[in-house]
Copies of this chain bind each other. A is one copy, B any other.
Amino acid sequence: MTVAVIFVSRRAAGHDVEYAAMADRMDELARQQPGFVEMVSVRDPKTRVGLTVSYFVDEESARAWKQHPEHLVAQSRGAAEFYEEYRVTVAEVTRSYGFP
């Protein structure tokens, strides 16, 4: 079952260049993971609140990405340097609709 990983965060002030480089690299790396489906990411520059939802084909793929060595380093830096707060919510997709 498709799994959605919802990541909400608020960026601390500063470290903008380093953060952008890390975020770009994580975006690139996530898309290369086995079982990756898609990802959408939005940050409001004013509030510094960001929301990223990534989808994987199953729970195992999502867990494997969480444990990727380079991602683990990024998670650690995120908590120590980049984010004032964050929350990860993992959920199993039951339906989806939209337009066009």
Q: How far is the CB of A20 from chain B (nearest CB, A)?
A: 14
Q: How many copies does the complex hold?
A: 2
- Chain B's closest residue to A95 (CB) is B90
Q: How large is the interface on A (under 10, 10 to 19, 20 to 34, 35 or more residues)?
A: 20 to 34
CA distance A44 to B41 in the complex (A): 9
Report A67-97 CB contacts with B as 1/0, cut-off 8 Å.
Answer: 0000000000001000101111111111111
Q: Which of B44, B49, B53, B88 interacts with A8 by CB under 8 Å?
A: B53
A4 touches B91 (CB 8 A): yes
A93 touches B91 (CB 8 A): yes
B99 touches A90 (CB 8 A): no
State whether the Cβ of A98 lies closer than 8 Å to any Cβ in chain B: yes
* Chain B residues whose CB sits within 8 angstroms of the CB of A99 once the complex forms: 79, 83, 85-86
State whether the Cβ of A57 lies closer than 8 Å to any Cβ in chain B: no
The interface centre, meaning the residue of A44, A79, A85, A89 with most chain B CB atoms within 10 A of its CB, is A89
- Chain B's closest residue to A47 (CB) is B42
